[in-house]
Structure 1
Amino acid sequence: MYQKRVILHTDIGGDIDDFWALVMLLRQSAWLKLEMILTDTWNAVARAAVCEKILAGTGFEQTVLIGAGIQDDDREITHGEWIRGYDMSRYPGRFRKDGVVAMIELIEASPEPVTLISIGPATSLAEALRIAPGIAGKVHFVGMFGSINRRYDGGTGAEFEFNVKQDIPACRKIFTTPWLSFVNTPLDTCAAVVLEGEFFRRIAESDDPLLRKLMECNACFLKYQAGGKDVPAPRRTTLLCDTVAIHLASSRRFLHMEILKLRVTDQGLTVRDDISGTPVDTALSWTDLEGFKRFLTDTLTARNSDSRTQERE
């Protein structure tokens, strides 16, 4: 089976959906070969430590390079408690503090195009493009950016989306770069993904070591949101926006796609602009949202996903 070479760009250690997205990506190693994780936004080194702790003991620590992006500051991340006392020097895998340079080197050395999945503010990606603009010609870009017709709460209308608003100039750079291809899930589709009921129970009650780590991180995030107070065991997930970007790296199944000409405004809104916008293959609505939730649950709970047969489109 053909494996796409993948780089994951993430602000993991912020909202919890990055954790769910990473586990989903690891479970699809039969067709998505994760080669690097580039962490970004504020304390990129702490976010890299989170990735190390997740990968440790999974076997992926031997094959996946972890790189820290631009280190803006050392502020506490939402999962600071989970990595407290963790010693990065004892990680058995590869870590590069100069993650932007490491990503450029990986892309330039690749004999084939690389799929870059971005599920966080694009600060370090914009820096990579400044240093080596030619890498765009070797990259299929998949992102989770913006809001066109739907808000976080499901209401109608555009809204400021975090990955765009956090670094507007960097996101505008992403939207004006000539990638080999550009696929994106805005809030219109990804903000509808929540697992509850049997889907959530299958994950929460699993004894799978990777899912136990996921549930630990989920609990840590909820406690952080509650101001450090213990919270009851959840019965559902929060929004799992980033999982849709992982899915789009290999499939359009369950989704209605449209080529839209999009532009990021100075204020940070993602708008249609048929004159100066960039054509983006956009996941604008669902054809089978329940089907995707089932697929996501099956993917997360499959210990040996390489042997699992799943139709790809």
Structure 2
Amino acid sequence: MKKVILCSDVELEASASIALLAQSSAIDLLGVVASAGRVSAEEASANAQHVLQKTGRDIPVLRGSLDAIIADLDPLRKNWEPAPGLNHGKTLRNVSLGDPREHSGKCGVIWMIDTLMRSPEKVTLLMLGPLTDLALTLKVQPDIAAHIEEVVIVGGGYRQTDVSAAAEFNIHYDPEAAAIVFASPLPKTVIPLDCAHSALLKEKDLQKALSGSVAGILAMESLCRLFQRHKSVDEGASGLPFPMLLGAVYLFDPLVLGPTIPYRVDVDYSGGYAYGQTVFDTRRIFDNYNCLVSFSTCKKKLVECLRRLAEG
């Protein structure tokens, strides 16, 4: 059984991913670190608690970072909103699933360090949101690297972006944190937006995959709301990308991804139009590779793996 810590700004798609992973017999979900991003840290914690309560699983939810690492130093990054005209970005700001509840009093970063350092087995980290908490964890306790099996980063984009012409939300929200993580010695697999865009899913695809199980029904509650939000701005007719679901499925069956290729991956945090851009050295100019990256997946395989994951 794979031991997993999930870090996310828990909104609708991430909530669906948590529902599926929490009920899987192949995954030992040790805890959820809920931080700010598309929603506030308080809303993210409430969303994670809401879905875990419905699964009946006693899995701790820890509140993570309240903001990006240096966001308060730059007034232009406070109260972030997508650039005008980027409807897809606006729809990513999803409403909370439930009212804020009492969260564990322990800091998510400290909990991650304690859990990783005490674990007799290596742990996989699934990063479904900004990388702030992992970056802080690395700065506080670099020795955690020896206790991590793999870091799965759902974020970045090569030809596909969402929050700007150059950037994907998870990296753009805290590019300094992303730069710290990409520069670390941790074994990293990156699932960029391109991967999810190669297998757009319609509501009927997800209904087919998820309607036959309790976990799947819980996941569909969140995903149906996500489809409704996209329909309200005339998006999603040809299907929607689900990178977070793809990340969850990857833990269950890594073969769901197309070829994973070692690349050098860096992040632009210098400002300007390329701010938050994920830079993939696809020409392989440099040989100091720091990540495995996949740019594709098979829709048929993804739907089948979702069905198997939902069945537990």
TM-score bin, normalised by smaller chain: 0.7 to 0.9
Counterpart selection for 1:269 from 271, 277, 282: 277
Give 1:142's aligned residue. Answer: 152
Q: Name which of 184, 188, 191 aligns with 2:194.
A: 188
Backbone CA RMSD of aligned residues = 3.1
**Greater displacement, 165-174 / 247-256:** 247-256
Provide TM-score, normalisation by structure 2: 0.76
One-letter amino acid of the counterpart of residue 268, structure 1: G
In 1, Cα distance between equivalents of 2:45 and 2:79: 13
Question: Deviations along 1:131-166, whole A, 9 cap, x unmatched?
Answer: 111112211211112112x3158xxxx841111111
Task: Please name the residue that 1:46 is paired with.
Answer: 43
Match of 1:83 in 2: 98
Residue in structure 1 matching 2:109, options 100, 114, 132: 100
Distance 1:291 1:31, change over 3 A: same
SS at 1:284 equivalent: coil
Letter in 2 for 1:294: E
1:23-34 paired onto structure 2 within 5 Å: 23-27=19-23, 29-34=24-29
Shift of residue 212, structure 1, vs aligned partner: 4.2
The letter for the 1-side match of 2:167 is F
CA distance in 1, matches of 2:44, 2:201: 25
Contact 2:262 2:293 in 1 (8 A): yes
CA contact (8 A) 1:197 1:236 kept: no
Counterparts of residues 1-313 of structure 1 (less than 5 Å): 3-13=1-11, 16-27=12-23, 29-42=24-37, 43-60=40-57, 62=58, 64-72=59-67, 78-80=94-96, 82-84=97-99, 88-89=101-102, 95-139=104-148, 140-148=150-158, 150-152=159-161, 159-179=166-186, 181-196=187-202, 198-202=204-208, 206=211, 208-221=213-226, 238-254=240-256, 255-266=258-269, 267-273=275-281, 274-275=285-286, 278-286=289-297, 288-300=298-310, 302=311, 305=312
Q: Which runs of 5+ in 2 are unaligned?
A: 68-77, 81-92, 270-274
- Equivalent residue pairs, number: 275
Contact 1:119 1:144 (C-alpha < 8 Å) held by counterparts? yes
CA displacement at 1:258 relative to structure 2: 0.9
Which stretch of structure 1 is more off in the superposition, 16-25 or 127-136? 16-25
Change in CA separation of 1:264 and 1:130 when aligned onto 2, cut-off 3 Å: same
| TM-score, structure 1 normalization | 0.76
Instruction: Provide the identity percentage.
Output: 22
For residues 223 and 272 of structure 1, what CA distance do their matches in structure 2 show? 33
Counterpart contact for 2:183–2:290, Cα < 8 Å = no
* Closer/same/farther in 2, CA of residues 162 and 138 from structure 1, 3 Å limit: same
**In 2, Cα distance between equivalents of 1:101 and 1:176:** 21
Q: Residue 311 of structure 1 corresponds to which residue in structure 2?
A: none
Deviation digits for residues 50-107 of structure 1 (CA, Å, limit 9, x no counterpart): 11111114231x2x221110123999x6233x313x6x24xxxx83441111111100
Flag as ranges the 4+ runs of structure 1 deviating above 6 A: 234-237
Distance 1:35 1:96, change over 3 A: farther
CA apart distance, 1:118 = 0.4
